[in-house]
Structure 1
Amino acid sequence: MRKKRLLIVLCTYVALLLSFTACTYDYFEDETNYMVFVPEVLERTVSDCRIMVYDEAGTLVNARYAAAPWEKDARMNIGQFCFRLPPGGYKVYCYTNTDSLLFVEPESLETSAFRLKENSFGVLGYAQPSDVFFQKLTPTISEAGYLYTDTLCAERYTGRITVRFKDFPGDVSSIDKVQLSAVCAPTTQFLKNDTLTSCLTENDVMFHLDKLPLQQTPGILEVDHRYLPTVDDGKVLRLTFTFFDSSGGVVNTLPVEVSERNTGVPLRLLHGKRLIIEIDSYTVVKISVVGWDEDIESGDTDME
């Protein structure tokens, strides 16, 4: 898969170079002098892409947004997000898969932020984030009549928490749906703070209700959700899982605090990371910090 993607990017680069030499007029007809190439748009592996350009004073000078099915703009259709910028230094914020986010007050970098949308379940709270990727670029435009190009190499912004229940106190076979209520979950990200999030209120709640995922390991009930990265603010992220049967009856309700077992100190969920919390009946027995797609066996940190 990696080799295939590298081949696609290489072929795209060749096509870009040919277009620059053979069709320069097409690009500079509108005085385009800065372009962000997004391979994921070309490959159709993301749902949307948003790029916001701020000057040295922190003022939004340009922005581009495109979403599937991508037909509205010929250049963005092949992953080319083009801008005309005066000479100077810039901060360029790039995000993909932003359908779960609401961008607010973008005119100034000081106030520009995105936050989780309200959930659609009729319960007060915010929705689970999508699998967001991001990158901040810092180009300097200095030469007139020259096309500066950056290629997006985005990293995963969202984190995930997996909770595994061993000897679950209840009839697992009767469970149809699982509801998550996450108190003190981050809901807001100011662009200038990169991945240091905040909350709109002290007790922001992220809420999600869905079918119980297909269970992969006999004797283990596992639930997994996505979150914005958390911060070291002394507040413990408190998760409450309510399990329902097919008729809507409650099978069990189990609280889980995202904190160290012995000290109660809050645990941080960093961007692109995964926390795995193992619970035996009602007792937390192990917490591991691993990469997004890793499991405990290959994890980089183990908190016993």
Structure 2
Amino acid sequence: MAGIFHELSQNPSAQALIEARKARHCLSRFWLAAPVDQLEILYQSQIGQAYRLMLQGLLPSQSLEPGEQAWRQALSRRLMENFDRPETTNLLLATMPYFDRGKMRVANPMQQVPQWLLADYAALCDPQLEQQLRRPVGLLGPAGSTGLGMAYPLQQLGVPQPVPMPVQPPLAAALPVMAARRGNEALALIQNQEFIGRMSGLINLYSIDPRDAEVKRELIGLRRQMGQIWLDVNPAQLQALYQSSFGQLYRNFLSCGFAREALLPDDQQLRAQLAQVVGNMAQPRALNALLAALPFFQPGRIQFGGGQQFIPAWLLQDIQALNN
């Protein structure tokens, strides 16, 4: 197979491209069938060398044929459904060659892509991560990970559980209702494995293929439900929740680029209502409203009335990082 990809790079022709497409499909099916516990060994073997030669060559930049587009879509769907399972890496290896450079992204790759694959993933998919990996190790910083986007009870994270807040007196700018699940029902989702897994899968699938209309539709609902959770949490528990596995997925959502999508009219209204509260950060529960509002704004577009001194450091540093 290495010879096929080398031939395409040295002497590109219609026939060489046909052979390379066939070889790519064979490699993709190979990785799907490979034993999970043998992936690293296989990746360091000759077949892994052929795979890397393919990633570095001309093939990823070629437009896909209809059958290849359908194959990529099927792989992307499976990747979304299995992102919290051991076969995630199999699917990553099978899917990556069907995306041009910089067109496929995995949310939170430092935690979700294995170390032995990370450098090649970064070279193909994430130039910023590639630059980060080239820095001295001490500058990378600690990984605030719970692994592959999985949720764990907050007690295991060493932080108190969020407690529902009693009904508050109306604010000058009232908090909106963002989702049907509210109060205790909304807060229960924080430890609901099905909800967390779906949330992680949708974020990753959007990072891989932001054109998928069905994924966008589900992310719209997810954004509203996340917002409702932030509105319902006791303000004293916001930091604990932000630093939990749910908070990590929330940050993945902020960084996946979905905020660049045009808002539906209902979401525009929700954003306007939240912005009224955020416009005076001295108000009670304004920090709740800010956390609910951030996913509706493109980085740098939200204004904090009353000064940033009301925003705690654990949140402000992430907002500043997103805006840069």
- The alignment's TM-score, normalised by the length of structure 1, stands at 0.33
- What TM-score, normalized by structure 2, do the two folds share? 0.31
- In terms of fraction of residues, the more helix-rich structure is 2
